[in-house]
Structure 1
């Protein structure tokens, strides 16, 4: 089987109530933070803002860099034709405009803000520290 290592980005987006935005992805039918691939010719910051725009139809600003996640245990995905280990640059971002009610597109089935202590059971594979790292406002960067 074909194996690859690819760069990716992910965003923790909180609202004014401290709830986190999750996307119900159409490809895996699970909830996940906004994330995606870095495309050739773009920076990780450009990739993050593009992914947020594509998956929410809303613009955002980057607040801070949370860390980099490369652990094979949480960053390896097996597809029908390949296995990919992602090296994910993880940021906190803030939306600069409201998400349209009932927004969906070819990637996004649904978007919803969740209380951090009431997350849906059907979460896609994410590093186990994704939420505590995002909620930790210390001046540290996490390498996981």
Structure 2
């Protein structure tokens, strides 16, 4: 399913759904951050996705991280709640979603970065190298909040 992201764009379509989702900001012992390059947008992002019925938001973040990157991570902290009504994602099936993400901080405990049907690139990136990557502004905000120590973010 394809998608188009709108960020602070007055031409964005009106949202018709609000789905709880969770992200995982995984930091290894060297201080590098786990990123995946999404096949649907080509941009680098934290692993994450929609929460399933029967799981907690933290369990969702752990599951999505493993599914999208091959890395099993352990939650070590809470980064924040990101609910920007001006971040709209339009899917080809007609769903138009307003952003709603809880983001957890974690550390890798097993696995290797692995590409899959959702990500065509997976790697740990040094904070000094982040500007070399096309990262969506919403993900940059989350990473920036972590690096600046300005969390939990409740916006």
Task: State TM-score, norm by structure 2.
Answer: 0.80
Which residue number corresponds to residue 102 of structure 2? 89
Structure 2, gaps ≥5 residues long: 1-13
Work out the CA distance in 2 between the residues paired with 1:87 and 1:63: 21
Q: Which of 60, 63, 72 is the matching residue for 2:85?
A: 72
Deviation at 1:17, TM superposition (A): 1.9
Work out the CA distance in 1 between the residues paired with 2:15 and 2:141: 28
Task: State TM-score, norm by structure 1.
Answer: 0.85
* Over 6 Å off, 4+ runs: none
Work out the CA distance in 2 between the residues paired with 1:124 and 1:142: 18
Which digits, 9 at most, give the CA deviation of each residue in 1:12-52, with x for residues without a partner? Answer: 11122212111011121211111111012211111111101
Work out the CA distance in 1 between the residues paired with 2:100 and 2:15: 17
Secondary structure in structure 2 of the residue aligned to 1:118: helix
Root-mean-square deviation over aligned CA pairs: 2.0
Q: Within 5 A, what are the aligned runs for 1:1-144? A: 3-73=16-86, 75-80=87-92, 81-100=94-113, 103-119=114-130, 120-126=132-138, 128-137=140-149, 140-144=151-155
More helix by share: 2
Work out the CA distance in 2 between the residues paired with 1:71 and 1:78: 15
Work out the CA distance in 1 between the residues paired with 2:116 and 2:141: 29
